[in-house]
Chains A and B, each alone.
Chain A
Amino acid sequence: MPILTLLVVLAIIAVAGYVLGRRRAMASADGDMRKLHSLPSYYGYNAALTGLVPAALVLAVWTIAQPMVLQNNVSDMITTEVADDGALSLIMSDVRRLADGLDTAVAQGALTPAEAANMTAEGTDVRGTLADVGVALGSEVSQDVLGAAQAYRAGSATGNLIKTVLVLLIAIGGTAFALMKTTATFRARNTVERGVMAVLIAAASIAILTTIGIVLSLVFNTVEFFRLYPAMDFFFGTTWQPSFSGRGGASELGLLPLLWGTLYISFVALLVAVPIGLFAAIYLSEYAGPRVRAFAKPMLEVLAGIPTIVYGLFALLVVGPMLKDVFGGDGALGVAWMTGDRSVITAGLVMGIMLIPFVSSLSDDIINAVPQSMRDGSLGLGATPSETIRQVVLPAALPGIVGAILLAASRAIGETMIVVLGAGAAGRLDLNPFEAMTTVTAKIVSQLTGDSDFSSPEALVAFALGMSLFVITLGLNVFALFIVRKYREQYE
């Protein structure tokens, strides 16, 4: 049974469980609601949840685990010489493609199930047959891959059957069990409470597990990279020069120029965003009347809704040329600091503009959280509004504002599109902000775009870069949260 059908059946069982549970409870109380421990609907929910939750859980785990287990089983059938784990995983993805292709062919009637299960690579033109039903395979199919694919298909067919039966049994069994327990004195309300908790825990775990999954995928590939490329050269290398033509040793993959570019551009961005954002927040929260605020706040937040690629275009087409007109060779100042449109300052300025609403709306919230009585105290002593802000409101809000700035910094560090378009592509260790530089994120993109061979250090370095970036931004975020939390304790 396909998963969708299975889900529909589960839903039907749940609804039936609800209706039956409710009815049974009412019957056991002779139709008098007051004799029941809980409201009738709780008995219904109890029956529905007892059937649904365990079944859904088994279904989810099984669906995720089945391909992994199968793949493990059939990978022994591959007899071709494989260089390493990377090559093996490429072959395994061929196997899955082929298995899916056979499924499609059977579904369209190009092959009978028996043919699909018994065909051999020598006897049939597998590639041709599948091409006829619209499944394109990259290369000729060898016998061991075909065998693995057939085993894979067989395994997943049995697996799916067992899964369907098991899930349905659990659903029906659970519902029946709950119905059996449904009597007037049964504490359905408390049981439902536990069921609700289970659902909430499941939601929270998905979020956490995803994070762990992301980190793990980064870690494995990073470890793989460091096996091919020395860690010292990566962390302390001052040159970034990947070569795609040659293999291995020809590339120089030093993190420092990229990290420098990232930090430099982020610094420029914060230099723009923090004062402007903060002053805007102070104006809006302390000086502006309600009418100005009602108009200006949404206007400012529109900035936050602009896609970053648009900011990138703005950097490339407007800000870059404008800066070059001033600081370029035959520019207004005649200083010739800037040679191209792309530079640290171009990207930094535009990124700063992007961050203004971020800084201002966070700071605005934090400034508004400073109690009015604090302002009254200061104003009541004859302080002017700006003295009050400088000496009372801002110090009180400072930890929160620092937290906001750190959050903005971690956004700046992670920003990609503006950098790709505005800052250039050359990794460079230079102090001149009018020089083109590039950042970690931009290089991750360029290392993985196009035809990349996932076992070469040139591609794997992207994961090491991503991991470094992740650690840096995570550190910043944790630090920011720590500060923000400390600030909260002050008034509560």
Chain B
Amino acid sequence: MKDLNLTEKSHLMSDTKISAKGVQVYYGDNHAIKDVNVDIEDKTVTAFIGPSGCGKSTFLRTINRMNDTIDICRVEGDILIDGEDIYDPAVDPVQLRAKVGMVFQKPNPFPKSIYDNVAYGPKIHGLARNKAELDEIVEKSLRKAALWNEAKDRLQAPGTGLSGGQQQRLCIARAIATSPEVLLMDEPCSALDPIATAQVEELIDELRQSFSVVIVTHSMQQAARVSQKTAFFHLGNLVEFGETDKIFTNPEDPRTESYISGRIG
């Protein structure tokens, strides 16, 4: 009995992948994230929703320390991934970002070939022993990102020559090629047509088997479809966090309810 209890408990412990405690983010004097506490589970899709400018992207970027690249940005509080404080001076942000991949709000393919775009991460981190393995990683990633059929005949063509939606899928392929443990996606479908959106949502669902996925979205339907947990941000505050079903059907906070029913935003 006791043993079982222990494994049960340790299982529960490892369930939390990312844990944010009292996180504050400032851009100069602008207090963009106010005291956010949240536990994001492993092998779950968590959706961040909220009106424009409420700090969803900002909070997402604190999770892989992309905010370091903004001079005026200051982060306070703790963010733990697997129990390790990622803002500890001993942590190498470069290593961290390899583990926590990111798809940006605007597609940003490199001015290289489609193949080289996807192979970029694996090459840097030495994930492939030879060309054949690299080819395999590239193909697998492009397939997962639902881009393989369109791109397989033009792998050497520049990635910047793709359409906006194709570029976004290329960026998704690029991010999953390094097989990160956590994937942060900032409105990955905002430039996609319904079919590609469905494919990406399918991908997100599949990724959940192995990764923890955090997705920012402006589409309530999308959040409801793909996520198990939902966090609602408003004016830099995390207003409500819980099971997606509950947030959408029976929100506790009046602000959440107004937002979901379209009254604020």
Task: List A residues at the B interface (Cβ < 8 Å).
Answer: 289-290, 371-384, 387, 391-392, 395-396, 490
Contacts and interface: CB of A to CB of B under 8 A. Distances in A.
Interface centre among B101, B120, B160 (most CB of A within 10 A): B120
Contacts of B112: 392, 395
Given A373-B104, A383-B94, A391-B120, A378 B110 contact: yes
Interface stretch (B2-10, B47-55, B170-178, B240-248): B170-178
B102 interface: yes
A381 B122 CA distance: 9
B124 A373 contact: no
The 8 closest A-B pairs by CB, nearest first: A382-B98, A373-B108, A380-B102, A382-B97, A377-B108, A381-B121, A396-B111, A384-B94
Given A381-B97, A382-B178, A396-B110, 8 more contacts: A376-B104, A380-B101, A382-B98, A383-B94, A384-B94, A391-B110, A392-B111, A490-B160
Contacts of A381: 97-98, 101, 120-121, 124, 174-175, 178
Overall SS of chain A's interface = helix
Given A379-B97, A382-B98, A392 B110 contact: yes
B106 to A, nearest CB: 6
B121 A382 contact: yes
A376 B105 CA distance: 11
A382 B124 contact: yes
B95 interface: yes
21 contacts: A289-B71, A373-B106, A376-B108, A377-B110, A377-B174, A379-B66, A380-B101, A380-B104, A381-B97, A382-B94, A382-B95, A382-B124, A383-B94, A383-B121, A383-B124, A391-B120, A391-B124, A395-B111, A396-B110, A396-B111, A490-B111
B261 interface: no
Given A376-B108, A395-B111, A396-B110, A382 B125 contact: yes
Nearest to A380: B102
Interface in B154-171: 160, 171
B104 A377 contact: yes
A377 B173 CA distance: 12
Contacts of A383: 94, 120-121, 124
A396 B117 CA distance: 13
A387 B102 contact: no
Contact of B171 (A377, A379, A396): A377
A97 B94 CA distance: 78
B46 interface: no
Contacts of B102: 380
Nearest to A396: B111
A375 to B, nearest CB: 7
B168 to A, nearest CB: 12
B69 interface: yes
Interface centre among A290, A377, A381 (most CB of B within 10 A): A381
A61 B178 CA distance: 71
B101 A290 contact: no
A403 to B, nearest CB: 16
Interface string B78-109: 00000000000000001111110110101011
A371 B108 contact: yes
Contacts of B94: 379, 382-384
Contacts of A374: 108, 110-111
A377 B98 CA distance: 12
